Amino acid sequence: MSALPPSDPDELVGAAFDRLRADTAIVTTADGAPAVRASSSPTNGWLRLVVVTGVAVAAFAGLFTVVVGASGWSPSDELITTELASTDQTKPADEERSSSAAERVLDIGEPVDGTSWILISGGVGGQRIDVEAVPGPVTLIVGSTTVYGSDGCNDFDGTVSFYGAQLQIGPIDGDDDGCGDNGRYLDALRTVTEISFEGKGDNMVLSGVDVELVYERAGTVGEAVDARSETDPVRSVNEVLDMVPTGEFEVRGWLTRLDGGSILCGTQPSGGVVCPGRWLTLVGIDNPDAVGTLETTITGRLDDEERLIVEGTTDAELEVTVAEQAVVDALRAGDLTNSELAWHSDEVSLTLGGSVHAVVRTPAELADSAAWRLDPDAFFRARTGPFSALEALAAAETVDVSVGAHNHCAAPPMPLPAVQSVRHVAVVPTGIDSCIDWFSVDILFDDAGRVVAVNLDIWEP
């Protein structure tokens, strides 16, 4: 009765989702109460629902039957039935789970999760750091490889390396302008060697030979916003995090301020937002799809409702539109009379390497593929012409289409043609073995979605 597994990728995906749906299907018990196939840990699944949705459970009346699978995910697993006499019985398990989860985070996650810390006391070389002698809070945010903060006068940033529970901070880039004890604070940071947490994680201690810095938790941006992001349609940190693609640091979004209350905040010339006692700069944001590759600081201005507004580009704006994709597809297919090809009404620039060689064609001329061949007098990227964006596109088996600047193969990004455009869609080949096969075709669109220029670039050996 067992069918052969499908080999078509689409069917494989569909079958996997079908199995997932079947595995999570509710099993209705004889008395009509719902039961589910829960996960392997009895404290990790259904039991918790009894606590968090007490109203719903009460409505089910009587004993509550839970079917717990040995692994929870295989339809063939032996089912074990557990009856709960009352919701009270679930409380210890739930509390135990919460406690252990919190400890796990404190134990391993605190140093790199973007928590903002405020210095409450410290000293180095036998001299106390006077946190009251500077105009602003003395702060530190520890990222996975970078630290950020304020010495109470100026922002600074630097690098950090972890070796188990030991760390090394530095070099640090910040001004030592004699404002209070700010220089002493930076010196202290440069000499700390150990990181530890006290209490329930509300205090962080950085220490070393003859140095100790004690911090108080100011809050974690992610935690603060998580609570409202689920229901609030207003852009949240989570949404902004999702907008930060790998290598793209520009975002637009409303970031809820770290804490509520009526604290007035102001922007710093260096870009950070500083509030008396609290400040907010998002650092070391980890794109879940590019862990460890994205380290940046996102700053912005506060609006009237004290939301941090970060200007930039939304994810939707970074997506290739259907119309743009249609242009790419038509060009790849050499379908030069395709109605989806919207040319600028008068002239379209065809260029090599941005400005190395350029010609202007009319839309009528572009219907002839011969008009796409560019033949500069001199070498282009150490090769001789003619060169054609159309031919490059046609030769590529698979391509990646993206919006905005892109890297070149083993070379820095090159400038684009100097034409009036608002969108830049880049097509580069994928699955190539060598830079010799690399090219980019940059299609520049105006605000009406018409193509104003097509640029070809290749790799220079």
Partner 1 sequence: MVAAEPIEPNSFDRAALMAAPTFDSVFHAEYAAMVALAAAVSGSRAHAEDIAQESLAQLDKHWSSVVGYDRPGAWLRRVVINRALSQRRRLAREAKARFLLQRPEPTIDPAPPAVDDKVWEAVAALPGKQRAAVALHYLEDASVAYIAEVLDISPATVRVHLHRGRQTLRRRLEGGGR
Minimum gap (Å) between residue 248 Cβ and partner 1: 12
- Nearest of 223, 224, 136 to residue 181 by alpha carbon: 136
Rounded Cα distance between 306 and 83, Å, is: 50
383 secondary structure, DSSP code:
B
Strand (E) positions, 375-422? 398-403
Q: Which is nearer to partner 1, 113 or 155 (CB)?
A: 113
Minimum gap (Å) between residue 170 Cβ and partner 1: 17
Minimum gap (Å) between residue 325 Cβ and partner 1: 7
Query: Which runs of consecutive H residues, i.e. helices, occur in 91-249?
Result: 91-108, 182-191, 221-229, 237-243
Q: Which is nearer to partner 1, 112 or 435 (CB)?
A: 112
Q: Which is nearer to partner 1, 165 or 333 (CB)?
A: 165
Q: How many residues does the chain have?
A: 461
CA-based torsion, 297, 212, 162, 291: positive or negative: negative
Minimum gap (Å) between residue 388 Cβ and partner 1: 26
Asked whether the beta carbons of 247 and 295 are under 8 A apart, the reply is no
Q: Which is nearer to partner 1, 1 or 291 (CB)?
A: 291
Q: Which is nearer to partner 1, 87 or 355 (CB)?
A: 87
Q: Which is nearer to partner 1, 45 or 376 (CB)?
A: 45
Rounded Cα distance between 185 and 169, Å, is: 12
Q: Which is nearer to partner 1, 203 or 321 (CB)?
A: 321
CA-based torsion, 148, 150, 154, 158: positive or negative: negative
3-class DSSP assignment, residue 189: helix
Q: Which is nearer to partner 1, 24 or 81 (CB)?
A: 24
Q: Which is nearer to partner 1, 77 or 175 (CB)?
A: 77
